[in-house]
Amino acid sequence: MDTVGAYLRAHRERAGLSIEQVSRTTRIRCGALTALETDQLSQLPGGVVCRGYVRAYASFVGADHAKAVRLLEVQTNPTPVMGRTLEPPPAPSNRFLRPLPLLILLLALVALLGTVYALSVPGSAGSRMSSVEATDVDSGTTRSFSPLKQP
Q: pLDDT, tens digit, for every residue of 64-120?
A: 989 999 988 888 875 554 555 556 667 666 666 677 778 888 999 999 998 888 887
For 134, phi then psi, to 5°, come to -135, 140
What pLDDT does residue 46 have? 80
- Mean pLDDT, rounded, of the chain: 80
Domain ranges, ordered by start, for the chain:
4-76
What is the assigned CATH class of domain 4-76?
Answer: mainly alpha
Q: In the structure, what pLDDT confidence band is assigned to residue 149 with cuts at 50, 70 and 90?
A: very low
Give yes or no for a contact between 30 and 19, defined as CB atoms under 8 angstroms apart: yes
Q: Burial level of 61, CB count in 10 A (0-12/13-18/19+)?
A: buried
Nearest to 134 by CA among 144, 125, 126: 144
Nearest to 35 by CA among 25, 46, 93: 46
